[in-house]
């Protein structure tokens, strides 16, 4: 079955709690309408404190809620961490893990993936090389090293759905993004590698890193790309709307 393309809004810590709720109240009717009429799955990932309020507003809409991280432990004395079970109770269908800004250890990312899958939350597992790794010609090796424990965890958890977010560290928040040709080759290699562990219909691959309404069209032509993980561009409603429309037409 052909799945809808994904647009994932990672709000990071850009908005305060109140700013996030005000944004949601203002735009959720139009966003929800957009998600109803366009063949796009729209996921909004606000800060942890906003999740209960998002659950209230979005419960009967096609918009999905995602968290920005979770603990690698199921429960226990882990100050400041948020458990996958709590995210489930707050109606999160998705959770980003391994974002380079969280500086997570690879083995923790695989544990987070397993806990999320156990709670029927779809992991959005970020992978990506640094500029130094890219310049040393190590991109593929690094991506495979990052992917292996995550895909093993997915295999062991009888995963039904996982999203891999390819986010080169050098492209996040920099305005610099890969050439379409290079991205196409890498995405092909990522999907091929993933297929050694999981059936193709269980994996969706999104690209993230300086995506905006001006540059996303050329990447939409890459058949391996199933959508985008947006940072900055997702904070501006008009920009987000343009990208959703482009993705649904692409």
Q: List active site positions.
A: 99, 167
Q: Are 133 and 139 in contact (CB under 8 A)?
A: yes
Which residue of 229, 243, 244, 247 would you call a contact of ligand PGA, by CB under 6 A? 229
Residue 231 makes contact with ligand PGA by CB under 6 A: yes
3-class secondary structure, 212: coil
Q: Are 31 and 42 in contact (CB under 8 A)?
A: yes
Residue 209 makes contact with ligand PGA by CB under 6 A: yes
Taking the CB of residue 1, how many other CB atoms lie within 10 A of it?
3
Nearer to ligand PGA, 208 or 227 (CB): 208
Residue 178 makes contact with ligand PGA by CB under 6 A: no
Which residue of 3, 173, 195, 249 would you call a contact of ligand PGA, by CB under 6 A? 173
Residue 68 makes contact with ligand PGA by CB under 6 A: no
Cα separation, 246 vs 56, in Å, equals: 29
Residue 232 makes contact with ligand PGA by CB under 6 A: yes
Residue 167 makes contact with ligand PGA by CB under 6 A: yes
Residue 29 makes contact with ligand PGA by CB under 6 A: no
Cα separation, 211 vs 193, in Å, equals: 24
| CA angle (31 as vertex; 58, 221 as ends), nearest 5 | 120
Which residue of 208, 226, 227, 247 would you call a contact of ligand PGA, by CB under 6 A? 208
C-alpha closest to that of 183 among 151, 217, 224, 214? 224
Instruction: Report which residue's Cβ sits closest to ligand PGA.
Output: 231
Residue 172 makes contact with ligand PGA by CB under 6 A: yes
Cα separation, 17 vs 166, in Å, equals: 28
Would you tell me which residues interact with ligand PGA (CB under 6 A)?
A: 10, 167, 172-173, 208-211, 229-233
């Amino acid at each position: 079955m052909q799945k809808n393309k994904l647009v994932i809004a990672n709000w990071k810590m850009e908005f305060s709690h109140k700013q996030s709720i005000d944004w949601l109240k203002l735009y959720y009717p139009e966003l929800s309408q957009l998600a109803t009429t366009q063949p796009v799955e729209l996921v909004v990932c606000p800060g942890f404190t906003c999740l209960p309020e998002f659950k209230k507003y979005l419960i009967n809409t096609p918009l999905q809620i995602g968290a920005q991280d979770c603990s690698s432990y199921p429960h226990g004395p882990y100050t400041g961490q948020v458990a996958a079970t709590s995210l489930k109770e707050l109606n999160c269908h998705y959770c980003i893990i391994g974002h380079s800004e969280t500086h997570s250890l690879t083995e923790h990312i695989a544990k987070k993936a397993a806990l999320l899958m156990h709670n029927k939350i779809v992991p959005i597992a970020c992978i990506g090389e640094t500029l130094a790794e890219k310049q040393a010609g190590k991109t593929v090796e690094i991506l495979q090293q990052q992917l292996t424990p995550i895909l093993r965890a997915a295999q062991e958890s009888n995963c039904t759905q996982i999203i891999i977010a390819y986010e080169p560290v050098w492209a996040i928040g920099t305005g610099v993004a890969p050439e379409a040709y290079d991205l196409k080759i890498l995405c092909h290699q990522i999907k091929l590698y993933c297929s050694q562990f999981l059936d193709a219909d269980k994996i969706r691959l999104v690209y993230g890193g300086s995506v905006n309404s001006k540059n996303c069209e050329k990447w939409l032509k890459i058949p391996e790309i199933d959508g985008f993980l947006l940072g900055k561009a997702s904070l501006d409603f008009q920009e987000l709307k343009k990208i959703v429309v482009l993705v649904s037409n692409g």
